[in-house]
Amino acid sequence: MKKFLALLLALVMSLSLVACGGGDDTAADGGADAEDGGNAETAAYQVAMITDYGDITDQSFNQTTYEACQEFCDAEGLQFEYYKPAGDSTAERVAMVDAAVADGYNVIVMPGYAFAETIKETAELYPDVTFIALDVAQGDLGEDYTVPSNVYCAVYQEELCGYMAGYAAVKLGYTHLGVLGGMAVPAVQRFGYGFVQGADAAAVEMGIADQVVMEYAYGNQFYGDSDITAYMDNWYQTLGVEVVFASGGGIYTSAAEAAAKVGGKLIGVDVDQSANIDTYGEGMCVTSAMKGLAETVKHMLGEVVAGNFANYGGQVETLGLVNGDDPTANYVQLPMETTQWGDGFTQDDYKALVKAMYDGDVTVSNDISAMPATTITVNFAGNIK
């Protein structure tokens, strides 16, 4: 019965879009209406974004995706709205998809691996809706799951920008490092394991592998709290950790709170987090291991509007290095403007590293079955909570 009703709803929605070129025009956070700046081609599309367990002020995944959707839709004159589930469950995320479709939205953007089950429950029910998912891998969906033609999933080679960040940290003179992951999900693990490999490579090159030590732990959640801050206090104040790579949504706040007490440093993740991290202490953010979330969203929405989505539907695409000469063109990178370059690691050194990685002269493993073998000392503590 649910499937029949859902198909009926999708049919009605599709007919109504053809008839009037839009749906509910009362979206509180929507972009410009198609009538105000769109054309006949774009008027058929209305874009919705659904947040995962966070919200659009998380200074990370959700916020970046939201802002990219908003910017694109404003420029194209498309209706846009975002939906926030009432809680962190597949049922509540599915409910938001149902609500968006009922409101007339036929392009739905979903950031985060948590949407895998949502895709499996809704994509075939709404065959006329285009789904764009970020960080949803084949493994999240199930190896035997066939991605429907109305779904596109992008995943990233986090191990590559993690490597860049770890390599930079050691080259810049930091010898006691920390990795604070959120939950031990594949994307977070790839970030961390890449960081370990990069730090190890730099230490070996410099002949200081016996001097470099790395603490490694997961918070088992994607937000900071007093318990994790206390754990970070121990890292910075007792163990002497100098810089922590915090990969996992808002969990960086605990590392930043602890670092602020002793003048410690942080490395951001996903996006350029320098503006947010530096509010805890001027110059706290050394660099950020970024992936091109905004670029992916804008590119894919552009392809939808251009009528080219059939070239992408049914795929889980892995995005990484696409240019060996221009690091800013890649889907994984360090920020050129805000990284704290120094004599030990300059912009030219970074460009040379990216070129070597692109050419295959420097290789990074994406194996997350076990901690990478290293010459440096890595103290793995598992889950903090």
pLDDT for residue 53: 78
Closest CA to 122 of 93, 142, 145: 93
Domains 2-156+293-319 and 158-290+331-383 share a fold: yes
10-residue averages of pLDDT along the chain (385 residues): 43 38 36 40 86 81 93 97 94 97 98 95 97 95 97 97 98 98 94 98 98 98 96 98 94 97 97 95 98 94 97 97 96 97 98 98 97 98 97
What ranges do the domains of the chain cover?
Answer: 2-156+293-319, 158-290+331-383
pLDDT at 42: 59
Can you tell me the distance from the alpha carbon of 334 to that of 286, in angstroms, rounded to the nearest whole number? Answer: 10
Predicted local confidence at residue 250, as pLDDT: 87
How far is it, in rounded angstroms, from Cα 361 to Cα 3?
Answer: 51
CATH 3.10.20.810, applies to 158-290+331-383: no
pTM: 0.85
Report the alpha-carbon angle 298-279-326, nearest 5. 40
Q: What is the pLDDT of residue 39?
A: 52
- Res 41: pLDDT: 57
CB 248 within 8 A of CB 195: no
**Size (the chain), residues:** 385
**Residue-level pLDDT at 125:** 97
2-156+293-319, what's its fold?
Rossmann fold (3.40.50)
User: CA-to-CA distance for 232 and 62, rounded, in angstroms?
Assistant: 25
